[in-house]
Amino acid sequence: MPIRVYKPVTNSRRNASVNLHAEVTKKTPEKSLLRPLHKTGGRNCQGKLTVIQQGGGHKRRYRLIDWRRTKDDAPALVVGVEYDPNRSCHLALLKYEDDSVRYIIAPKNIRVGTKVLSSAKQIDPDVGNCMALRHIPTGLDVHAVELVPGKGAQIVRAAGMSARLTNKEGRFATLVLPSGEIRQVSLDCRATIGSVGNPDHGLVKLGKAGRARWLGRRPRTRGMAMSHHQHPHGGGEGRSKGGQIPSNASNTPSKGGRTRLRGKASDERILRRRFSRRYGQLKV
């Protein structure tokens, strides 16, 4: 069982669960694909705190991932599935015939010994294969999708996520994203067949504040508990927001408020907005 719940021998164990990472087969990372990862602690270049609730956490090293999948028509063998501390999904280590190695996001049900392929032409739509959306049959689930041809995968990369390719019309393919948003993407953009692995990631309960600190999450102070010059909800006599709509310290709307910038070139390709978290209805 991927998620383990222990006996409540302590207060923290009572509400905690652990992901066993049953898909992981390789314990040590590939040294040639490791890079140092600098921490900011929520500070900018002047040392001023700009992002609250960040800091600390376990030391990590970054894994270089092949987001573009441009090594075309070269079969690669999956030699291991590894844990990545920098993201929710697992990584699959590929080894090519020329002995070069690369990391990709591990698709669901990928096995060691499986051969995957990326190509600019039409190939078999097997799990882990990467090609342009124009060559992928409609109705299949895809992940690691490009928004700009050749830029690399930008969407549908989290654990357990997948997008459904529903239609092809003209120069664009229609995708139903995990958020409920329906958008058009150029047929020249590449995507990987299948869904992302480690679908049980969202079922894990930390159970104690210490595990949150291991992840680099610091305690958060309520806005109403601050003074009026620190937060829009602060100040006043007693518990009062002063008629202020729910917002953060920089007065940006929260709890369902729109924060997306207007005028983006990709906005015209969104056919249906994602579900509203606030009202449970569609945003058009």
In this predicted model, which residue has the larger pLDDT, 137 or 240?
137
Kindly state whether residue 148 falls inside one of the protein's structural domains: yes
The answer, as to whether pTM is greater than 0.85, is yes
d(CA 211, CA 217): 9
Kindly state whether residue 208 falls inside one of the protein's structural domains: no
d(CA 151, CA 153): 7
Decide if 217 contacts 210 (C-beta within 8 A).
Answer: no
At which of 144, 169, 201 does a domain end?
201
Asked if residue 180 and residue 254 are part of one domain, the reply reads no
Instruction: Cite the DSSP H helix spans in the chain.
Output: 11-14, 209-214
Q: How confident is the model at residue 252 (pLDDT cuts 50, 70, 90)?
A: confident
Q: Which of 270, 262, 247 is nearest to 180 (CA)?
A: 270
Kindly state whether residue 196 falls inside one of the protein's structural domains: yes
In this predicted model, which residue has the larger pLDDT, 198 or 240?
198
Asked if residue 279 and residue 138 are part of one domain, the reply reads no
What's the pLDDT at 261? 76
Asked if residue 151 and residue 267 are part of one domain, the reply reads no
Asked if residue 258 and residue 137 are part of one domain, the reply reads no
pLDDT in tens, 182-202: 999 999 999 999 999 999 999
What's the pLDDT at 279? 42
d(CA 280, CA 40): 36
pLDDT in tens, 4-47: 999 999 999 999 999 999 999 999 999 999 999 999 999 999 99
| Four-residue CA torsion sign, 218, 224, 227, 228 | positive
Kindly state whether residue 223 falls inside one of the protein's structural domains: no
Please give the DSSP secondary-structure letter assigned to residue 244. P
Kindly state whether residue 67 falls inside one of the protein's structural domains: yes
Q: Which of 156, 79, 153, 162 is nearest to 116 (CA)?
A: 79
What CATH number has the domain bearing residue 173?
A: 2.40.50.140
Asked if residue 277 and residue 186 are part of one domain, the reply reads no
By DSSP bridging, strand 61-63 and strand 76-82 are: unpaired
Kindly state whether residue 174 falls inside one of the protein's structural domains: yes
> What distances in angstroms separate CA 90 from CA 25, 53, 83, 282, one per listed residue?
11, 26, 5, 32
Q: Once rounded to an integer, what is the mean pLDDT over residues 47-72?
A: 95
What's the pLDDT at 101? 97
pLDDT surpassing 70 at residue 276: no
Domain holding 165, by residue range, is: 22-201
d(CA 194, CA 111): 13
Asked if residue 155 and residue 70 are part of one domain, the reply reads yes
Asked if residue 255 and residue 149 are part of one domain, the reply reads no
The encoded tokens of residue 28 equal: 């040590």
What's the pLDDT at 284? 40
Beta bridge partners of 282: 275
d(CA 91, CA 196): 10
Asked if residue 154 and residue 96 are part of one domain, the reply reads yes
Q: Which of 167, 280, 200 is nearest to 21 (CA)?
A: 200
Asked if residue 266 and residue 126 are part of one domain, the reply reads no
Q: Once rounded to an integer, what is the mean pLDDT over residues 120-138?
A: 96
Asked if residue 194 and residue 60 are part of one domain, the reply reads yes
d(CA 140, CA 129): 12
The encoded tokens of residue 258 equal: 């729109």
Kindly state whether residue 278 falls inside one of the protein's structural domains: yes
d(CA 78, CA 112): 5
Q: How many domains would you assign to the chain? A: 2
pLDDT in tens, 227-239: 989 899 999 888 8
Asked if residue 191 and residue 278 are part of one domain, the reply reads no
Asked if residue 196 and residue 123 are part of one domain, the reply reads yes
Kindly state whether residue 211 falls inside one of the protein's structural domains: no
